Amino acid sequence: MKSFSEPPKKSHLIGLYLILAMILAAILLLTAVIWMLFRQPTEPVEEPASFCYQLGVYQDRLAVYTNDQRHPAEILDIPVATLPEEDQRLLQEGILLPTEEALRQAIEDFT
């Protein structure tokens, strides 16, 4: 007959650790499900208005793209490196412009 003072066998400890690990995994999974159900939805990202023109960079020059073209419709003789760093960053991302007038004004702003 076993006495209560005997230490538990390793196989019993492994089983106990396995049960504890499964309980912890279940708690984490339940927490994740609850978090997903009750989290606040993020603000929807507003899509830019449809555009006809995009100012960007092509071979280190200011370039005009139309719609979704990969190659510029026009390359201007304005080196991007001469512009302020913030303008360079914006141009690298692309500046969307809805009208020819907005395009003309933006080009004037960079000259």
Q: Which residues pair with 66 in a beta bridge?
A: 53
pLDDT tens digits, one per residue of 88-102: 999 998 889 888 899
pLDDT tens digits, one per residue of 60-89: 999 999 876 778 899 999 899 998 999 899
Burial class (CB in 10 A: 0-12, 13-18, 19+), 83: middle
> Could you tell me the CA-to-CA distances from 2 to 5, 6, 10 in Å, in that order?
8, 7, 16
Enter the pTM of the model.
0.52
CA distance 85 to 34: 45
